[in-house]
Structure 1
Amino acid sequence: MKRARSYQTQKWLTYIAAYAVLTMFGLLIIFPFMFMFFTSFKASGDVFRSPPQLLPYSVQTASVNGETVPLYRVETPEGLRTLALVDQGALLVIFASVDDPSRTFERAPRDAKPVGGFTAQEQITVDGETKLLWEIEEGGQTLPVFELSRGRMGVFVDPDDPQVTFDASLTDATPVERIDLQIQNYQRVLELQNIDRSLTNTMLVTILVVIGQVVTSVLGGYAFARLRFPGRDSLFVVYLGTIMIPFVVLIIPMYQLMVIVGWVDRIAALVMPWIFTAYGTFLMRQFFISIPKDLEEAALMDGASRLRILWQIFVPLAGPAIATQATFTFLYAWNSFVWPLIVINTGNFGNQVLTLSLMVLQGRAAESPNLVMAGTTIAVSVPLLIFVLAQRYFVEGIATTGIK
């Protein structure tokens, strides 16, 4: 009994440790996507804050004398209060006396003179840290000091009673913030780079490529799996060997072909060259070979044609393989970048796809990473959703590829 309890305890501890490790790695993997998603809802100033924060925040404001001003938490003689900043005063530097570091002075930067001049300013070491030596006037005497900190003084008022004012350093004031999703970032992105048109083009190209590849793969796979004709196996080996040809080798001849047929800078150039795939044909052939021949022979004896056998028997049975092929094709067509970059002019906004628009957006909105992240989120969300919904077929396709 005691041994059984010890085994159960060890088993549960193993499960807990395994789930803890998997959760940790899962969070590490998903963190870049979370950062991208939340950054897309931030304001431009919130992106560059230090230290960085994951969630989007914005400073709360109040209306004082008809003006919208930010709110801060300020330490006052009455305690910590929420006040409105109505004026940012001059920059002040806090100096400490060299003879007595506990004695501090507030001065404007222009009121301090460097000891030895700016080109050869003297230095001292305080608590192991090197400090520049300055001189200030205090009570008619010149005192040697070093800089402790600097900050800007602000004039704060009570939002409910603007007549009550306080002077405090902005360094010691904490902004009053709240989580604020800047949903308008997505509208700005759509207006800035015409991404709505690019999104429509990308959907159109992806749907046409997926339909084209699935149809040609089903027809080719059935022909190589079930029809007998001279040179079938040799032709299949040659066709399958085209998978090993690098895409960079095909770029120039494909572009020349597009020039000849007049498809440069047109949507047709993004669809027609990609409706045939050796991988899809191989995938369908391997699946069709696994279907018992008895079904086909029985249908032939009943007078069914080859086309009817294909669409009424083989295609319904090949649902997992077709879904796998459609998933792979969708992810590839949606994320295609090199070929659209070559065949579509970046100035042709009417025929651009999403990947090209994001490239241009990255340059136009370089100072606004939040807008770039918003465009990236739009581009990533659709294939991510498709992958999650078709994950079972995606994984199954890896096993199906090796079926003989």
Structure 2
Amino acid sequence: MAEPLLVLQAIHKSFGGAPALRGANLEICPGEIHGLVGENGAGKSTLINIATGVLQPDSGAIVLAGENCALASPRQAAARGIAVVHQEADLFPQMSLAENMLLERGLARTRWGLIDWRGVRREAAENLAALGEQFDVQAPAAGLSVGRRMVSGIAAAVAQQARILFLDEPTSSLTMREIESLFERLRTLRDQGVAIIYVSHRLEEVLELCDRVTVMRDGETISTRPVRELNLDQIVSAMVGRDMSGLTVRRSATPGAPLLCVKNANDVTGVFLDVSLDIRAGEIMGMYGFVGAGRSEFAQSLFGLRPMSGEVSVNGVTLRTGATRRAIRAGLAYLPEDRLVQGVFRSHSLRANAGVAALRSLGKQRAVASSDSPQTGRPDGAFLAFLRRLPRFGWISARAERALAENVVSEMRVRAVSIEQPIATLSGGNQQKVVFGRWQAMRPRVLL
């Protein structure tokens, strides 16, 4: 194998006294696809941010092409040939896709110094075409799906001719065709000598695509091995720190009566048509479809975020669609696909994000916690009294809000220094735990 192109040695990083990295190591060679795996909170995102100049390590060394270097900013990292596409590709919503794709390295200019809009659009379209994609680069980025945002970010990064390319969960919202096209492109880049770091929770993809795999756990590097020496059970065992082979058990359940019934649902813009389904109590129903098939739009419509026609009932009671408040009152909860835009308030604390669903008329909603009566499924009197203390005369009880947030952290095993830290400082997986715990604390009848 060739000499390493990028080496991260004994990297330490702490946030507010809590260690995120404990002497982590990563070695990447040119012409390889290197898998980086670990549980939520293992330190993968922090290590990526250090390698790309977003964060600076407390201690340790970064060696690039055999020379020690300090990456003080993402711009400096990009100038040295290091590119990254994050799990949550954040774009300027009011700008076009073409502008977002080319903004980092500068928009094309005419000889008079004006922006060459025709050239900008042409270059963006060519970058997408290189990945086998074709969609309107003039459209505002606000209307793009998560999948298309990710594809555009990858296309822009590839077009920069980066020597080192970090991909953070690149396939989480892609169709099978998009994934196959991406893998083909990544293999071509590898053959051209590019070093690719592929971060994913989809371990089957890691085994299929990568040449070597580094496993992280609790901020430490556990192992780096060729993929031919690994199988799925070995990777999982290294991630969790114990033998997990043969522990997967499928639990059966006996569903109850129909709880959510939908008949002849139609989106007003035609994204989905004539959808009918019944979901029973105690049942997990999967809804599958490619990006653009209308899955997310259907869930948003049920939760009142999009207008729709048709009949919807919850526990036998007709639900008037089109208002989120009515949906919540009926017992619906919604975990969005796009956590970045629809799931969290990034500048607010973990505490505020955990309690935001319980701020309005909480005592009148079916809001319960782990103290539900096992016989009735209803909240006990003590906890209902606790919930009613939250909104009093338009004011929020800070004590009750903290208690609710601490319960979410405990129940969901969120890895955080404090409930007061900005939720944006948590890993993506821990942010998702907070969003899930927010609704779990309400004990919804139907979780979308």
- TM-score w.r.t. length of structure 2: 0.20
Bigger relative contact order, structure 1 or 2 (CA pairs below 8 A, ≥6 apart): 1
Larger Rg: 1
